[in-house]
Chains A and B, each alone.
Chain A
Amino acid sequence: MSHIQLDDLRKRFGDVEAVRGIDLEIEKGEFLVLVGPSGCGKSTTLRMLAGLEDISEGELRIADERVNGVAPKNRNVAMVFQNYALYPHMTAAENMKFGMKSAGDYGDDEIERRLDRAADILDIPELMERKPGELSGGERQRVAIGRALVREPEVFLLDEPLSNLDAKLRVQMRAELLKLHQELQTTTVYVTHDQTEAMTLGDRVAVLDAGQLQQVAEPQELYDFPANRFVAEFIGNPAMNLVPVDVVEDGGEVRAEHEGFSVGLPDQAGLDDAVGQSAHFGIRPEDVSLAGNLPADAPTHEITVSVTEPLGESLLMHCDVGGDEIQVKAEPRAEIRPGDDIEVGFDEERLHLFDQSGDAVYHSTSATPKTSEAPLTE
């Protein structure tokens, strides 16, 4: 039985509909990441789970109990805020104890035991007597997480907890959060706008745009089989290349025709329906290879390099193909200059087609749709 159930959940602020009907089931012990661009309704959704925001419409169930009108404190959830929300006049220990003491359900021994345990797990025993003002950002975040831990809640809710940290610390804390979750196995809903964070942390990732769920899937599936153009472009960095093509049948073979190239499409589900339509052809920069790395008989296309960006571990090239721009990732030390014409080939197992409304109609490898959900249409 799923632990948290969102059933057509909606939130309106006056005329603004911030969340437009979300259906989602979160399993017990799962780490679910809600990801999407700024303003898409992630925080609002999370705050509805916490009870900090009223639900305008729809139903929310936690542990099979309808909690729409239930007060936050009775939902047995703990939340970690982006700005930590620590009480500035209390020490770390007092911050972590305050909620438990106020609730009055716990004995002093129990409180101390939980405090020590949380401090050990987070490796912060030596910080317990300091006030937030005397802690670094990362340390504050640990204390904030500690405050959620001591509650031993049924559900953890985290709203962009790492976004105030510098890049290096963020990576480190990310790993620690993963470790923590493996240890505690508490159901967790984690909000972020950072797709890398989403991919690395989530058991499953829910992509949100404009208040609507776009796709919920495991990270690799999201990357390999995006359900629509939005997910295709949002997940993965740099974003997937999308160029308009005509899908035509030519002597038993279906091809995607573009001014600058023509690619044969391996037979897979959905291909027949696409024939005769114009569509968007999608390929990720890392799935385009220089001709030199391909077998001699592989089909190649000529493209013109306009800008090169050395990223260190690879060379990112912005190229022109038949009037459209595509990005290509090549080996870091490839001797390529802007203005060069180069031969590239597309990995034929990683081709995608999206129809005019933006939905994916075809992936050149068959998806294993065990968790993938159909995209929402308005």
Chain B
Amino acid sequence: MTEFTKPFDSSWQAYLLLVPTFAVLIAFLYYPAVETFRLSLYQTLLLGTQKAFVGLENFKILATSPEYQRSFVISFAFAAFVVVGTLVVSLFVSYLLFEVSRGTSSYLVAAIWPYALPTAVAATVLMFLMHPTLGVITHYLEALTGIELDWFTSGPLAFVVVGLVAIWKQLGYNIIFLVAALNNIPETLTESAKLDGVGRLKMLYKVYVPLISPTMVFLVVMDTIYAFFQTFPMVDLMTSGGPSGATNLLIYKLYRDAFEFNSLGKASAESIILFVIVAILMYVQLRVSESYTHYGA
């Protein structure tokens, strides 16, 4: 028998041990957040060495800027493309992984390794694979379809290419969760369906998807955050927001405003807006899914 021991003699010891965590949180999370909010109310020059309080002026400028509006729309379209694409492809791959009975772990590793790649590396590698003139993939695609795939000059093509790279990079993360969720479904459900002769596709969308819907909601939220915030390196390395703004996502525009055009105040306002957008999206996703999701199998 183990005796119950009080972990700490007094509460101040406990607080003391929490200090490092709080210090890190405050220094790198709460303080910058507050500072960003404060900065968004200023107009800044020369990397913030000179600034003037302008109230909500930054937000007003953004709201009326056609360039910002365009970036706004593009970001939403991009997020929708990436979230839907990632979920559909990863669900398909996960289902195959779930059904295969031999060599499961090697397939799993093969499917999730892109996730382990640093984003910048992934973006660079794929950029060369899909390069309009040098790329292997583009070469064969062009040979097969006869269509010229010059995404360095075509806006819609560039949008799709960056989207595909973003999807490819995020697949691993989704697959890990989906395979785990699928493996949690009692095997007798599958067996019972086999006896009834239920088709595999029907089984997927009538039984498996409803049963793993809590995981899918989680992934929708995570993929949304990913699409809005973590796709910066791909845009930066592959298209620099171009051609003519077709891939100018909010997160990329924000960076340019801050560090190329030195408008720290405006960029702060943009990050506040981005934060609010994603927060609202998450709230809506969770509320909507609540009524559809089946929790507790």
A79 and B198 within 8 A (CB) = no
Q: A78-B195, A98-B196, A102-B196 known; A88 and B188 CB under 8 Å?
A: no
Work out how many contacts link A and B, with CB atoms closer than 8 A: 68
Q: Does A103 contact B (CB under 8 A)?
A: yes
Q: Quick one: given A85-B189, A89-B294, are A103 and B197 in contact (CB under 8 Å)?
A: yes
Secondary structure at the A interface, as helix, strand, loop or mixed, is: mixed
Binary per-residue interface labels of chain A (73-92) against chain B in the complex, 1 for a CB within 8 Å, 0 otherwise: 11001110101010111000
Residues of B within 8 A of A280 (CB): none
Among B189, B195, B207, B210, residue most surrounded by chain A Cβ atoms (within 10 Å): B195
Q: Which of A74, A79, A88 contacts B192 (CB 8 A)?
A: A79
Give the contact-size bracket for chain B: 20 to 34
Interface bits B175-193 vs A (CB < 8 Å: 1, else 0)? 0000000000010110111
Residues of A within 8 A of B70 (CB): none
Interface: A358 (CB within 8 A): no
Instruction: State how many angstroms separate the Cβ of B159 from the closest Cβ of chain A.
Output: 37
Which of B191, B210, B296, B297 has the most A CB atoms < 10 Å from its CB?
B191
Q: Is A342 an interface position by the 8 A CB rule?
A: no
Q: Tell me the complex Cα distance, A103–B203, Å.
A: 12
Tell whether, in the assembled complex, residue A89 and residue B211 are in contact, meaning their CB atoms are under 8 Å apart: yes
Contact with B196, one of A52, A81, A103, A133 (Cβ below 8 angstroms): A103
Residues in A neighbouring B186, C-beta threshold 8 A:
83, 85
Q: Which residues of A contact B202 (CB under 8 A)?
A: 102
Is B206 part of the contact surface with A, judged by Cβ < 8 Å? yes
**A85 and B199 in contact (CB under 8 A), knowing A98-B206, A133-B296?**
no
Q: A81-B188, A83-B188, A99-B193 are in contact. Are A88 and B198 (CB under 8 A)?
A: no
Tell yes or no: B38 within 8 A of A by CB.
no
Q: Known: A98-B206, A133-B296. Contact between A85 and B191, CB under 8 A?
A: yes
Question: Which size bracket describes the interface of A in this complex?
Answer: 20 to 34
CB distance from A278 to the nearest CB of B (A): 49
A50 close to B (CB within 8 Å)? yes
Contacting residues, chain A, for B191 (C-beta < 8 A): 50, 52, 72, 79, 81, 85
With A88-B211, A133-B296 as contacts: A73 and B192 at CB distance below 8 Å: no
CA distance A220 to B191 in the complex (A): 35
Distance between Cα atoms of A99 and B194 in the complex (Å) = 9
CB distance from A123 to the nearest CB of B (A): 23
Within 8 Å CB of A99, what residues of B? 192-193, 195-198
| Cross-chain contact A98 with B189 (CB below 8 angstroms) | no
Q: Please name all residues of chain A whose beta carbon is closer than 8 Å to the beta carbon of B207 when the two chains form the complex.
A: 87, 89
Are B199 and A102 closer than 8 Å at their CB atoms?
yes
In the complex, per-residue mask of A116-155: 1 if CB is within 8 Å of any chain B CB, else 0: 0000000000000000010000000000000100010000
Which among A79, A83, A89 is the interface contact of B195 at CB below 8 angstroms? A79
Are the C-beta atoms of A102 and B197 separated by less than 8 Å?
Answer: yes
Within 8 Å CB of A151, what residues of B? Answer: 196
Asked if A89 and B196 sit within 8 Å, CB to CB, the answer is no
Residues of A close to B296: CB separation below 8 A = 88, 133
Closest Cβ of chain B to A192, distance in Å, is: 17
Least CB distance, A92 to chain B, in whole angstroms:
14
A74 surroundings in chain B (CB, below 8 A): 197
Whether A73 lies near B197 (C-beta < 8 A) is yes
Q: Which 4 A-B pairs have the closest CB atoms?
A: A99-B196, A73-B197, A85-B188, A102-B198
Q: List 12 A-B contacts (CB under 8 A).
A: A50-B195, A51-B194, A52-B195, A77-B195, A83-B186, A87-B189, A87-B207, A88-B294, A89-B211, A99-B197, A102-B197, A102-B199
